[in-house]
Amino acid sequence: MYQTYNLSHGDAQAMVEAVRTKAEAARKAVCVAVADSHGELISFLRMDGCQLPSVYIAMNKAFTAARERKDSGEIGDHMKDTGFPMTNYGNLRYTGWGGGLPVVHQGQVIGAIGVSGLTSEEDIELARGALSSAGK
């Protein structure tokens, strides 16, 4: 038997709110998804004016970060460096774009956040800010 931790709905909502606050302050619109440790959705927000493709991209970034226990951008870097195709991951939800980060508590991945709608660098910055504000 082993003990696991789970990301709560309250934690997920706090991360979504942190992203929303920073994006609105910058007058930008994004989608933000927070997933459990299996990559399944807990909380989601599509801000007014955010492009529709960002809906699934944000969810897929969170899915990838949770399933692989690393930044979604690292998956993309690995793919570029090795020529390893994304389809070899066995699930079409995997993505290699930056903006998906695992949520770690006491050394254990308990979920992930995915942000989409801006450049990868801006998405990553918003996701990192949400993790920092949540103490993760």
Domains in the chain, CATH or no CATH each: 9-133 (3.30.450.150)
pLDDT of residue 136: 61
- CA-nearest of 125, 77, 133, 135 to 101 is 125
Rounded distance between C-alpha atoms, residue 23 and residue 19, angstroms? 6
Rounded distance between C-alpha atoms, residue 58 and residue 6, angstroms? 20
Vertex 100, ends 133 and 91: CA angle to 5°?
Answer: 150
Provide the residue-wise pLDDT of the chain in tens; the chain has 136 residues.
888 899 999 999 999 999 999 999 999 999 999 999 999 999 999 999 999 999 999 999 999 999 999 999 998 888 888 887 777 777 889 999 999 999 999 999 999 999 999 999 999 999 999 999 876 6
Rounded distance between C-alpha atoms, residue 40 and residue 60, angstroms? 10
Our CA dihedral for 95, 97, 99, 101, rounded to 10 degrees, sits at 50
pLDDT of residue 36: 98
Q: What percent of the chain has pLDDT over 70?
A: 99
Vertex 24, ends 110 and 12: CA angle to 5°?
Answer: 15
- CA-nearest of 6, 18, 23, 5 to 134 is 18
pTM of this structure:
0.94
Q: Give the pLDDT confidence of 8-43 residue by residue, as tens digits.
A: 999 999 999 999 999 999 999 999 999 999 999 999
